[in-house]
Structure 1
Amino acid sequence: MTPSAFAARLRRRERVLGYWSVLDAPVATERIARLGYDYVCLDAQHGLLGYAGLLAGLTAIDAGGASVGLVRVEANDPTPIGRALDAGAAGVIVPLVDTAEDAARAVAATRYPPLGRRSYGPMRSGLRIGPAPAEAHAATVVLAMIETPDGLANVERICATPGLDGVYVGPSDLRLAVGGAHVADRSVDAVFEDAVRRVRQAAAAAGIAAGIHTPDGDTAALRLAQGYTFASIASDVVHLETAARTHLLAARTEEQAR
């Protein structure tokens, strides 16, 4: 899929599925990017990726051929946003967006003057996205994370930000934001689901994409059925650990049965 085709699908609120990567393992990332996910998101905020790993991961996604590469940047700042886009990302997920002004700053960091504050130096992205500013703008998506008490309180105004393509729920932080004692605190399930619904409805009212991180494919399917338009599934490190544990338990069970 090309970045421009992906951007068009996301903006039309078509259903889009992605995978989450936190490991600096380009060969593994390339294999994931061959499976048919619409996007693979590299996590530069909490993941184990420096800039060299980010660049290698985006190159690996392109080599896989089936997905576009997104980056969850480490901060709502023009420098990490610009570096991710210059490295070839088809879009950015921006964390800790609390207000419409925060969202507007994120949008501005993805747009060249006079529309924004992105510095021109597309480097690798010029091979695929642009290099003319108008082409880059058409093919580049910007998504604001809703994960804080202020972000939730201001979600309708955030969604109305000109140029914002979508919002993205960080469920762990959002659960804490609504009063959870920890990220798996089931005692706040009802208020958490209310918050998830509010984000989805705000995005729909504004006509922008609504995305959410999910732990597995079943949950991703559920959120899409509820009205979310895109979802990311788990992460490479989680699946690596889960598969290794499953095989270990199977081998030990078989051994004990003899």
Structure 2
Amino acid sequence: MGDTTAAFDAVARIRRRERSIGYWIALDNPVGTERIARLGYDYVGIDAQHGLLDYKGWLAALMAIEAGGRSAGLVRVPANDLTYIGQALDAGAHGVIVPLVDTADDAAAAVRACRYPPEGGRSYGPMRAGLRIGPAPAQANAHVLCAVMIETLTALDNVEAIAATPGLDGVYVGPSDLTLALGGASSTDPALADALDEAALKVVAAAEAAGIAAGIHSPDGATAHRRLGQGFTFATVSSDLVHLEQAAAAHLRTARGTDTART
């Protein structure tokens, strides 16, 4: 069993609304994930919703993050579903990010799925999690992070009620889906930048009023820094897949001696 002190501390910092920075894993590449986890990010998020990993990939990625020894491993589960959330936590995730949560009832269901009875409805069978977080239900309940995504107009309308859900640790903005929901022609439509900022600030205010963490995904470090300056308390930077492509393209342009677009 590895030392989980750093991961526990990272989760506690997020819950205390202390500034935290994470990274996103979309590739089934545990060796690469381990390298990322050694860099000093507060958390590493595994994208089980849109990423290219199956359940064995989640497990391998979580083991790689633990081997890195510096970050908490979070999983964005495929859906707000008791089975998916339980699988991620049983595999050793220190928390989950739950997509497409539209109402306070949805948020309450996510919280319930993260907690053992009597606080919740998580089925007992921690498997690998018993080595990392402890087999005692009360200990697991105390350490597991539950955050839900705000990425639809319905969720935005209900964000104050969602943020006030008992037991919820954080809300997390999905800017791509929220941009589309606001009427964007693409997930990064610059014409919707101001509207997205307005929506983001509404989420920040709701989280602050409820005393919970406010997170957001960011395409790069500069954007993450700006979002933290807006009041978000944690921000995720890009992903391994995006950075692999960007780095390879940049080196190709340099080798060719040109700054033109990639071919």
TM-score (norm 1): 0.97
Name the amino acid aligned to 1:207: G
Unaligned runs of 5+ in 1: none
Note if contact 1:3-1:129 (Cα within 8 Å) is conserved in structure 2.
Answer: no
The partner residue of 2:40 within 31, 36, 42 is 36
CA distance in 2, matches of 1:210, 1:86: 25
CA distance in 1, matches of 2:238, 2:107: 25
Helix, strand or coil: the match of 1:196? helix
Match of 2:193 in 1: 189
Q: Is residue 159 of structure 1 aligned with residue 163 of structure 2?
A: yes
CA distance in 2, matches of 1:186, 1:5: 37
Structure-to-structure mapping, 1:151-230, within 5 angstroms: 151-230=155-234
Structure-to-structure mapping, 1:41-190, within 5 angstroms: 41-190=45-194
Unaligned runs of 5+ in 2: 259-263
Name the amino acid aligned to 2:101: V
Note if contact 1:3-1:140 (Cα within 8 Å) is conserved in structure 2.
Answer: no
- 1:181, CA displacement in angstroms? 1.7
CA distance in 2, matches of 1:218, 1:186: 16
The count of residues paired between Structure 1 and Structure 2 equals 254
Q: Is residue 234 of structure 1 aligned with residue 238 of structure 2?
A: yes
Note if contact 1:7-1:138 (Cα within 8 Å) is conserved in structure 2.
Answer: no
CA distance in 2, matches of 1:217, 1:127: 33
- RMSD of aligned residue pairs (Cα, Å): 0.9
Note if contact 2:28-2:52 (Cα within 8 Å) is conserved in structure 1.
Answer: yes
Query: After superposition, what is the alpha-carbon deviation per residue over 1:115-148, rounded to whole angstroms, capped at 9, x for unaligned?
Result: 1110000000000112111110111000000001
Note if contact 2:48-2:54 (Cα within 8 Å) is conserved in structure 1.
Answer: yes
Name the amino acid aligned to 2:189: D
CA distance in 1, matches of 2:92, 2:238: 23
CA distance in 2, matches of 1:189, 1:38: 27
CA distance in 2, matches of 1:80, 1:173: 21
> Could you list the runs of 4 or more consecutive aligned residues of structure 1 that deviate by over 3 angstroms after TM superposition?
none
Note if contact 1:20-1:41 (Cα within 8 Å) is conserved in structure 2.
Answer: yes
Match of 2:261 in 1: none
Name the amino acid aligned to 2:64: A
**What is the identity percentage for the equivalent residue pairs of Structure 1 and Structure 2?**
66
- 1:220, CA displacement in angstroms? 0.6
Name the amino acid aligned to 2:221: G
Helix, strand or coil: the match of 2:128? helix
